[in-house]
Structure 1
Amino acid sequence: MSAPLAETLTQLRVGNQKFLIDFYQRSRHLFARWAQRQYQLDAPQAHGLLQDTLLDFYDQVADGRITKMPDDLRAFLYGMAQQRLEANVPAHVPLPAAEAGRRQRLLAQFNQLGPDCQRVLTFFYFRGYHFEKMGGKMGFPNATVARLQKSSCLRKLYELLR
């Protein structure tokens, strides 16, 4: 992993799925062998299961159910896949078009913000920093300035979304 784990979660939360795509491309053959040995799935079924599992993981990160990157992501995802198989969850249930579109718009608008606003919003919403810590990280003189910056950045994002 080239990016720090917190940065990876932040990117996932704003809709950037590159990390998951790379993970899929690196791991699909190994996952297919595991699925074939454990559950007698052929390669296309195993690849579909891994895709669905990665999308479930993404959804859990995006809606806040996962707040910390697992120490062993591969084992965590294999466990999720195992739970899908044991619970007999239907495969390839896509996101509703409205939600998929909303996430893509949010990512595009977030990327239009300046780097300082991106960092402020990331620190507050995705890393859970309080205003004093965020102010220290950003070089602001005090927590009030951090609070005002967060408010200003959020207002800018809101305006971009409208």
Structure 2
Amino acid sequence: MKDKEILSKIHKGDERALDYLYKKHYRMMVRMIISNNGTEQEAQDIYQDALIVFWQKAASGELVLTSKISTYLYSICLNLWRKELDRKSRLSNEEKDGEEYMDNDREERVRIIHDCIAQLGDTCQKLLTLYYFDGLSMEDIAVKIGLANSDTAKTKKYKCKKRLDSLVKSKYSASDFLD
């Protein structure tokens, strides 16, 4: 089909013209996007979006072609792909900024908790560290600290945690943790 014939079919609403364009130029558009850091799925999505833009402009009569349809479709795909790369770049930068903030925030919270734990007695320091930071079970903690059994360790942990909570609350405000 020639370009004039394709445009004529589009004006008549004949979707076979769209199907023809899709198949004829698919490889070229996909190759262009893949060679510019895209995947085949992204290329398919961009090419479909480009065909919709082309169809809408051609069907509305707004389209004035000064080049071949393939060149026009290529430029639409290239522009859409550039916008997508720009969007992905912004998202990636936002994620990195967010991760860095969360890492710094988490480190600050851990530091605050460690400072407060250091102000507790030796048994509470050991028990809370073994439980929360080393991930040991109550049975293992009871053995390491020399408590009668895991139930005693649980009771002691509960009391130590209450003391830690009071200490943190007395030294820091909720906003220090909820920023």
TM superposition score normalised by structure 1: 0.46
**Structure showing greater Rg:** 2
Structure with more helix by fraction: 2
Please report the TM-score for the alignment, with normalisation by the length of structure 2. 0.42
